[in-house]
């Protein structure tokens, strides 16, 4: 019985020593915070991060910090890592533009000319504040407002269709009516490519073959909604 009590006491002492080492000592106090894409972190989030310095790295509320950073609609995801003994690394992945949204139908008149609304390949609408360095198609979608930072299934399907054919024909406009109605307009010729959702790669293969065989690329529309039964209107 005496030996059992000694063993229990020793275990408790070891636990206290370990707890002090990891929680109570100055060895694991945060001294450095490294952030990628730091421009995506707003002042409030930066303030919360700065408050982490000097605190024990094991007591940092990782989930709360991550949620706060991801309130920014431009942020796709955030990974926060603890690099012992005293460093936090924060990797912020942003949404990348796949197309720009036509804002003429929106009620946000105060946004006109101030920011661009981009659409990611995931169908998320987000404010794009950087300099436009390449050409993107314009998305026309019959809705009145788009809460930024949210994913829209119809737009996601439209982006899948666009990405499947973008290396075959130059797309200038993407028009979305419903999930199964996507119209892509070729630059210069204004040819309309009609598609519905699903099997985009297969439809792209049909289009690739068709563009080689057409005597003239300047046709009114190409309808790819019926599998191999492709309808072409001169």
Assign residue 154 the CATH number of its domain: 3.40.50
Q: Containing domain of residue 157, as a range?
A: 99-233
Mean pLDDT check: name the lowest of 33-37, 67-71, 193-197, 216-220: 216-220
Using DSSP's 3-state secondary structure scheme, residue 176 falls into strand
CA distances from 108 to 67, 104, 116, 147, 186 (A): 27, 9, 12, 11, 29
- Report pTM: 0.80
pLDDT of residue 197: 86
Angle at 189 between CA 188 and CA 193, to 5 degrees: 115
CATH number of domain containing 51:
3.10.20
The whole-number average pLDDT for the span 177-181 is: 74
Last residue of a domain, which of 32, 60, 94? 94
| Residue appearing with tokens 């206290």 | 16
Mean pLDDT of the residues in the chain: 83
pLDDT tens per residue, range 186-229: 998 899 999 988 899 999 999 999 988 876 667 899 999 998 89
pLDDT of residue 25: 61
Query: 196 and 225 in contact (C-beta within 8 Å)?
Result: yes
Q: Are residues 158 and 216 in the same domain?
A: yes
pLDDT tens per residue, range 90-113: 999 999 999 999 876 454 444 455
Residue 34 clears pLDDT 80, i.e. is over it: yes
Query: 154 and 176 in contact (C-beta within 8 Å)?
Result: yes
- DSSP-assigned beta bridge partners for residue 141: 176
Residue 15 clears pLDDT 80, i.e. is over it: no
Rounded Cα distance between 166 and 121, Å, is 13
Q: Are residues 109 and 195 in the same domain?
A: yes
3-state secondary structure 61-125: CHHHHHHHHCCCCCEEEEEEEEECCCEEEEEEEECCCCEEECCCCCCCHHHCCCCEEEECCCCEE
Q: Are residues 116 and 211 in the same domain?
A: yes
Number of domains in the chain: 2
Last residue of a domain, which of 94, 120, 142? 94
């Amino acid at each position: 019985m005496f030996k059992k009590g000694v063993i229990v006491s020793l275990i408790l002492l070891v636990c206290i020593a370990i707890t002090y080492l990891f929680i109570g000592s100055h060895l694991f106090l945060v001294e450095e915070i490294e952030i990628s894409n730091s421009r995506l972190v707003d002042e409030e989030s930066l303030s919360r991060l700065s408050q982490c310095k000097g605190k024990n790295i094991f007591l940092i509320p990782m989930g709360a910090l991550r949620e706060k950073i991801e309130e920014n609609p431009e942020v796709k995801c955030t990974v926060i890592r603890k690099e012992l003994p005293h460093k936090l690394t924060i990797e912020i992945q942003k949404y990348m533009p796949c197309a720009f949204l036509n804002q003429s139908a929106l009620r946000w008149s105060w946004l006109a000319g101030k920011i661009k609304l981009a659409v990611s390949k995931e169908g998320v609408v987000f404010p794009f504040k950087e300099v436009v360095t390449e050409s993107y198609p314009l998305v026309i979608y019959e809705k009145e407002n788009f809460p930024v930072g949210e994913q829209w299934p119809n737009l996601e399907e439209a982006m899948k269709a666009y990405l499947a054919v973008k290396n075959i024909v130059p797309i200038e406009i993407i028009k979305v009516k419903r999930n199964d109605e996507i119209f892509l307009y070729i630059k210069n010729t204004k040819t309309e490519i009609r598609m519905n959702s699903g099997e985009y790669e297969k439809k792209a293969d049909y289009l690739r073959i068709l563009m080689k065989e057409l005597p003239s690329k300047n046709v009114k529309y190409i309808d790819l909604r019926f599998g191999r039964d492709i309808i072409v209107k001169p």
